[in-house]
């Protein structure tokens, strides 16, 4: 009796890494995922324990039934709209793997603009800079800066204890745990003084816009990490209310903003007594980081 040849269906069991990749790509394209090719590569490489480069070179590598099933299940989740980072439980940011949980935002490449702007604004390599990260989530901004500045230390603040669990683990894994302290607090509450740098990627989506976001964001990022109140600017007002008094003279604030938010946030900074040092664009050319300098 002959067995019909397999097609690219979810139950097919491709026998090599290359075939598994081709199958994943086909299924994600068929599901209408815009980033099908990239997502297929990320899922297959990660679940087979290969780097993206090795996946290309080792296309002939044999895959076991268990591996093929794990990849197939992950591809089904992605096809149903779950982001790759949520499926894998981690996401790379600034070249570091950050673990996620249900209370953390998934770090975005655009937020690396905040790290770049902070590095450019503060000459920090050999100085014991004191950093505060408001709404730290996975800890990605603080941890990235601490890896760049070996003498610096910092505090990460978040309202969610679960987010702080992830941030602590991420700081440990990145080897900066001894220089990072994580504290549960609202970003509107003064928690530190004598700071050189405050960074924040606060929740900035206007409450009424959340229902219209992509399903990847709406269904999988925590609302607490997204909702910026009626006009999306509440968290900026609440933090700018106090951080000026917590910074040393000449201290710096770097804030992530929505693509249309730079003007409003720069204005709030000026109202709070800061001067605007820079508005830095992300890789897509959208204004993404507002850099403020303490005038006092």
- Given the rule CB under 6 A, which residues bind ligand GLN? 105, 107, 111, 135-138, 140-141, 201-203, 225
Cβ closest to ligand GLN, residue 20 vs residue 258: 258
Least distance CB 165 / ligand GLN (angstroms): 14
Output the CA torsion sign for 142, 147, 148, 152.
positive
Give 56 or 210: the residue with its C-beta nearer to ligand GLN. Answer: 210
Q: Which residue, judged by CB position, is nearest to ligand GLN in the bound state?
A: 137
Q: Would you tell me how many other CB atoms lie within 10 Å of the CB of residue 241? A: 14
Query: What is the spatial distance between Cα 136 and Cα 83, in angstroms, rounded to a whole number?
Result: 20
Q: How far is the CB of 49 from ligand GLN (least distance, A)?
A: 26
Q: Estimate to the nearest angstrom the gap between the alpha carbon of 76 and the chain centroid.
A: 23
Nearest distance from C-beta of residue 115 to ligand GLN, angstroms? 9
Cα–Cα dist 218/216, whole Å: 6
DSSP state of 102: T
Cα(141)–Cα(149) distance, integer angstroms:
12
Residue 157 CB, nearest approach to ligand GLN (Å): 10
Work out how close the CB of 296 gets to ligand GLN at its nearest, in angstroms, rounded to a whole number: 26
* Residue 195, beta-bridge partner list: 247
| Closer residue to ligand GLN, CB minimum distance, 46 or 160 | 160
Q: Which is nearer to ligand GLN, 8 or 88 (CB)?
A: 88
Q: List all residues 6 or more positions away from 284 whose beta carbon is below 8 Å from its beta carbon.
A: 110
Closer to ligand GLN at the Cβ: 28 or 140? 140
């Amino acid at each position: 009796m002959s067995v019909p040849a397999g097609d690219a269906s979810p139950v097919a069991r491709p026998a090599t890494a290359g075939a598994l990749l081709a199958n994943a790509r086909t299924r994600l394209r068929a599901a209408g995922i815009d980033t099908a090719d990239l997502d297929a590569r990320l899922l297959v490489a990660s679940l087979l324990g290969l780097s993206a480069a090795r996946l290309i070179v080792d296309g002939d590598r044999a895959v076991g039934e268990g591996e093929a099933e794990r990849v197939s299940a992950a591809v089904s989740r992605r096809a149903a709209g779950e982001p790759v980072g949520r499926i894998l439980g981690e996401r790379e940011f600034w070249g570091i793997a950050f673990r996620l949980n249900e209370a953390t935002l998934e770090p975005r490449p655009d937020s690396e603009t905040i790290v770049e702007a902070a590095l450019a604004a503060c000459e920090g390599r050999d100085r014991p800079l004191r950093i505060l990260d408001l709404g730290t989530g996975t800890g990605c901004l603080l941890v990235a800066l601490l890896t760049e500045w070996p003498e610096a230390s910092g505090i990460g603040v978040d309202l969610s204890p679960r987010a702080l669990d992830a941030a602590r683990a991420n700081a440990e894994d990145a080897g900066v745990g001894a220089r990072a302290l994580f504290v549960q607090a609202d970003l509107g509450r003064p928690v530190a003084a004598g700071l050189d740098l405050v960074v924040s990627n606060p929740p900035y989506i206007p409450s009424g816009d959340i229902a219209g976001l992509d399903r990847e964001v709406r269904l999988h990022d925590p609302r607490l990490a997204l909702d910026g109140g009626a006009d999306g600017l509440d968290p900026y007002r609440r933090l700018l209310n106090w951080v000026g008094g917590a910074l040393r003279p000449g201290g710096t604030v770097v804030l992530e903003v929505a693509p249309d938010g730079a003007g409003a946030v720069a204005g709030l900074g000026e109202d709070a007594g800061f001067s605007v040092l820079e508005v830095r664009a992300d890789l897509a050319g959208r204004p993404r980081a507002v850099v403020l300098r303490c005038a006092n």
